[in-house]
Amino acid sequence: MLQDPLTLYKLIVLYMLNRVTFPLTTAQVSDFILEKEYTSFLTLQQVISELTDADMISCQTIRNRTHLTITEEGRETLHFFENRISDAIKDDINTYFRENEFSLRNETSVLGDYYKSTSGEYEAHLVAKERGINLIDLTLSVPSEEMAAAICDNWQKKNQEIYGYLTKELF
Closest CA to 4 of 64, 81, 66: 81
73 plus 116 within the same structural domain: no
3-state secondary structure of 94: helix
Which residues constitute the domain of residue 122?
Answer: 109-170
91 plus 115 within the same structural domain: no
Q: What is the CATH number of the domain that holds 70?
A: 1.10.10.10
104 plus 25 within the same structural domain: yes
67 plus 134 within the same structural domain: no
115 plus 91 within the same structural domain: no
From CA 85, how far away is CA 108, in angstroms rounded? 26
Sign of dihedral through CA atoms 34, 88, 81, 56? Answer: negative
19 plus 102 within the same structural domain: yes
* Tens of pLDDT, residue by residue, the chain (171 residues): 346 888 999 999 999 999 988 889 899 999 999 999 999 999 999 999 999 999 999 998 876 778 899 999 999 999 999 999 999 999 999 999 988 877 777 776 788 889 999 999 999 999 888 766 788 999 999 999 999 999 998 998 888 899 889 989 998
120 plus 86 within the same structural domain: no
Instruction: Show the DSSP H helices in the chain as ranges.
Output: 5-18, 26-35, 41-53, 72-81, 87-109, 145-170
From CA 137, how far away is CA 139, in angstroms rounded? 7
> Does the predicted model carry a pTM greater than 0.75?
no
Q: How many domains does one find in the chain?
A: 2
35 plus 103 within the same structural domain: yes
